[in-house]
C-alpha cells in the first residue's frame, strides 16, 4: 500500500512539475522552472508518503507566492 501510494503521488507531483517546467521555460521565468525541476526529481528521494505530499504541496504553491 505504501509503495503504491508513493508511486501514485510521485506521478501526480511529477506531472505538475512538468507543467511548471514547460511554463517556466516558455515564459523565461526562474521560479516555475526550478519548482518544476524540484517537483520532478524529489519523489525519488522521499520514502514517506506524508512527507512526499507535504513537500509537493509546498513546492507546488511556491510560484504563486514568489514572483
Q: Which pLDDT score is estimated for 67? A: 77
Q: Which pLDDT score is estimated for 1? A: 60
Mean pLDDT in order along the chain per 10 residues (67 residues)? 88 97 96 97 94 97 92
Q: Which pLDDT score is estimated for 61? A: 96
Q: Give the domain extent around 26.
A: 2-65
Count of domains forming the chain: 1
d(CA 28, CA 31): 9
Instruction: Supply the pTM of this predicted model.
Output: 0.90
CA dihedral 33, 65, 47, 25 (to 10 degrees): -10
Amino acid at each position: 500500500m505504501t509503495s503504491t501510494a508513493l508511486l501514485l503521488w510521485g506521478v501526480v507531483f511529477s506531472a505538475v512539475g512538468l507543467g511548471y517546467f514547460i511554463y517556466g521555460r516558455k515564459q523565461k521565468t526562474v521560479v516555475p522552472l526550478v519548482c518544476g525541476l524540484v517537483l520532478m526529481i524529489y519523489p525519488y528521494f522521499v520514502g514517506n508518503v506524508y512527507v512526499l505530499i507535504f513537500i509537493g504541496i509546498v513546492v507546488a504553491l511556491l510560484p504563486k507566492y514568489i514572483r
